[in-house]
Structure 1
Amino acid sequence: MTKVIELQGNPSLPKIFARAVATSRGRHGKGGLPDIQVVRRGVQVDPDALADYDHVCGFALREQLPATYLHNLVFPLQVTLFADKSYPYPLMGSVHLDNTLTVHRPILLGEPLDLSTWATNARPHKSGVQVDVVSQAHVGDELVWEGLATYLYRGQKIDGDVPERAEEAEAADGAGLIWRLSGSLGRRFAAVSGDVNPIHMNSVTAKAMGFPSTIAHGMWSQAAMLAAIENRLPDAYVATMSFRKPVLIPGTMRLVAHETAGSWDLALRNNRKGTVLVRGEVAPIS
């Protein structure tokens, strides 16, 4: 039987993060994924919080919620799941590999949202174990938004064969938008998202975790890339982002966006080296 954790309000993310981190050492991937669903009902978006988020990510101020803001709303549910004592994998050292967002129709400020999150599909990866975290948003009985976040737990083990990586076409390249990202970006996004992972906020901690400098949040990258084409997005679409390499800040990046028949091929590159940092696709839902 599914265990349901129902949140009555927006939890304190720093406290949940601290609990999840403090218990990371004792989590060794044994026992399989728990049958747990974290839910929060009747969520009303704070217009001021949305405006602050839009400002940091580059979205226009309007009544329609960005797809990535829905991820912002379910992220506390995800961390609550990770902090539960039955969740087998440690938060410390985990990596957000991919993020797919499905918008079934425009979601408007003022609509009450019922949110839910659960984990599924633990499988081997060459560097450990990857898990899909599924999230949904309903307005009444209507499914309006879905999220699929794939996390890698490095050094963990699970039975099964590591699948071969499928061949793919070259990422979009050429001229694009030049973004000069400041070293304060991680702290500013943490303030509007609640994601207080110190690798995004403090260069000392980032270096201790093996990064040469502070790194931007993956969800900032996805948000900013979608914001750049916001006025060209359809009412219903699927947006997939693959976080290939860290976006080091401060730094200068180049966003390349190619459109073909209503679909987008996106790439965020290091402007000097040309390295693909984030690769994305957006496809309309008919």
Structure 2
Amino acid sequence: MFAKAVATGGRRKGKTLPDLEVVRRDVTPSVTDVADYDAVCGFALSNRLPSTYLHVLVFPLQVALMSDEAFPFPLMGSVHLENTITQHRPVLLGETLELRARAENLRPHFRGAQADLIGEVYVGGELVWEGRSTYLFRGRKVEGEVPPKGDEPDAVEGFGATWRLGGDLGRRYAKVSGDVNPIHMNPLAAKALGFPTTIVHGMWSKARMLAAIENRLPDAYEATMSFRKPLLIPSTVSFVAEGERDGGFDLALRNAKKGTEHVRGSVRPLA
């Protein structure tokens, strides 16, 4: 699918999203695959699937959608700006899943166009998980006005955990997630697309941040992460989590030396 996306990306000229949905039924995650994912992302072994692992299951459907020639923008070169996961209840190992993916909400961005890739997971007809990934397609024009930027508070600060990230992290995460975008795996490919070297997958950062507070997460919650400056590897980062009165958290991931903000996010319990 990545090869097809590269081969057809230059021909994408449209300005509307296709009315397509990709569906995969009767999916039962492998215990071994989940354990390998847990090891790379820092989750404890459990009979509960990490909410970010469900994104890993849905991601190939989103790639299939963006690889379709009806999709107006090229997959390669797109930028993952933000991801929101809504877990309605824990999903357990052994449950049989139905996965769905579609695209919606095409709108302008000051650097191009952006759209949301939606993922859904059902168990026996029950919606148990939703994901929304916002992608930027640089240099593309669509109808509408770019909303003005509002004032944004600083991300949380304080004492937290320090993580040293090895240069092979991109390859390790690609192996357990299936996201083989070369900017995460090959320094030359990363340089060709404007990065000094390989960068961490945004969804690894989100997974690792949620894993750090895993034992304090509610059964049902919404977790939103905004991906800021690319996180180069190898590097050392600082993670901070600040608890809120409602049982949620505000989160931040920064470069440990320079203080550069890489990811900020929040977790809020569902009523």
Name the TM-score, length of structure 1 as normaliser: 0.93
1:168 Cα deviation after fit:
2.2
Matches within 5 A, 1:79-228: 79-228=63-212
Runs of at least 5 residues in structure 2 that lack an aligned partner in the other structure: none
Letter aligned with residue 27 of structure 1: R
Q: Does 1:271 align with 2:226?
A: no
Indicate the residue corresponding to 1:19 in structure 2.
4
Instruction: Measure the CA separation in 1 of the matches of 2:199 and 2:230.
Output: 6
Instruction: Measure the CA separation in 2 of the matches of 1:167 and 1:22.
Output: 41
1:22 Cα deviation after fit:
1.1
1:31 Cα deviation after fit:
4.5
Letter aligned with residue 260 of structure 2: T
1:140 Cα deviation after fit:
1.0
C-alpha RMSD of the superposition: 0.7
Name the CA shift for 1:40/1:278 in 2 (closer, same or farther; >3 Å).
same
8 Å contact kept, 2:15–2:142: no
Q: Does 1:71 align with 2:73?
A: no
Give 1:230's match in structure 2, choosing from 197, 201, 214: 214
Letter aligned with residue 111 of structure 1: E
How high is the sequence identity, in percent, across the aligned residues?
61
Matches within 5 A, 1:242-261: 242-261=226-245
Runs of at least 5 residues in structure 1 that lack an aligned partner in the other structure: 1-15
1:116 Cα deviation after fit:
0.3
Q: Does 1:41 align with 2:19?
A: no
Indicate the residue corresponding to 1:7 in structure 2.
none
**Secondary structure at the counterpart of residue 150 of structure 2:** coil
8 Å contact kept, 2:252–2:263: yes
